[in-house]
Amino acid sequence: MAISLQENGFASKIIGVDAIREHEKKAIRRYIIDEAMPLKEAVLQSDIIIVATPVDVMLKVIPEVLDLVTEKQVVLDVGSTKERLLESLKNHPNRNRLVAAHPMAGTEYSGPEAAIPNLFDGKYTVLVDTADSDADAVKITEQLFESMNMDIAYLKAKEHDEHTAYVSHISHISSFALALTVLEKEKNEGRIFELASSGFGSTVRLAKSSPDMWVPIFRQNRDNVLVILDEYIETLSKFRSLLIKKDFKQFYQLIEEANNIKKIIK
């Protein structure tokens, strides 16, 4: 976001705050941020404060930031779960200056090395429970995401968490489990991975994702994820039972149904 907002001229200055000093230095060397400073100092100098931390840290940092801001500043959280955070903030006197946003794009990497230009171009951002934010804060947030060429959708926190469990969180468990299964089998056969198809690479890509980011997401969205994980295991068991019965006619039909994803994912 720092790269995009600088490049498109939306931001005249980017201040970075990171728990890891080395990350701040790297971000400056790479011209991702103009300057680094402690959180409080940075908040006091900024028009817009974007909080992008693991979602458990959000629970602590967002109230700290909201404690510091005035009615002229806007705070954005860009985390992957919303219900828990917004519930915890509902009595905060500055809740109205927060806009809860979820830009639906990312990679499996983290830290300043992972920052890439145009990541968000043409993707969606979800704005959550905007009725609880001041109209001017929502408007500035919309302008910010529009400047990055993003489309905007509006959801309630509960809907957001349920849908992201389906279109993002379950993919990660699927991928972690696939990686573990294959690693377990092939641990004594390093060479065999040279043969891994690009298809395999694509399905395990997300298994490189950081546990520091993902465990808090699963903790907060546990109930939604559990429902889908049960359905996923059930669907896999259907494939299994058809293989056992050698019912390849049904197996064919299941694959044909799965092909409908073509109409939806480009």
**Rounded Cα distance, 76 and 141, in Å:** 8
CB of 81 to its own copies, least distance (A): 14
Question: Residue 228 interacts with its own copies (CB under 8 A)?
Answer: yes
Question: Residue 127 interacts with its own copies (CB under 8 A)?
Answer: no
Angle at 153 between CA 150 and CA 155, to 5 degrees: 145
Question: Residue 236 interacts with its own copies (CB under 8 A)?
Answer: yes
**Rounded Cα distance, 58 and 77, in Å:** 8
**Rounded Cα distance, 215 and 263, in Å:** 32
Question: Residue 114 interacts with its own copies (CB under 8 A)?
Answer: no
CB of 3 to its own copies, least distance (A): 17
Name which of 35 and 113 has its Cβ closer to its own copies.
113
Strands (E), 147-229: 151-155
> How many Cα atoms within 13 Å fall on the side-chain side of residue 13?
8
Name which of 72 and 234 has its Cβ closer to its own copies.
234
Question: Residue 188 interacts with its own copies (CB under 8 A)?
Answer: no
Site string for its own copies, 147-166 (x = CB under 8 A): ----x-x---------xx-x
User: Residue 2 corresponds to which amino acid?
Assistant: A
Neighbouring C-beta atoms of residue 141, cutoff 10 Å: 24
Residue of 88, 110, 147, 171 that binds its own copies (CB under 8 A): 171
Name which of 144 and 173 has its Cβ closer to its own copies.
173
Question: Residue 224 interacts with its own copies (CB under 8 A)?
Answer: no
Residue of 22, 41, 136, 230 that binds its own copies (CB under 8 A): 230
Question: Residue 197 interacts with its own copies (CB under 8 A)?
Answer: yes
- Secondary structure (DSSP) of 55-87: HHHHHHHHHHHHHH--TT-EEEE--S--HHHHH
- For its own copies, which stretch binds (CB under 8 A), given 45-53, 58-66, 82-90, 99-107? 99-107
> How many Cα atoms within 13 Å fall on the side-chain side of residue 247?
11
Residue of 52, 105, 140, 142 that binds its own copies (CB under 8 A): 105
Question: Residue 5 interacts with its own copies (CB under 8 A)?
Answer: no
**Rounded Cα distance, 77 and 103, in Å:** 10
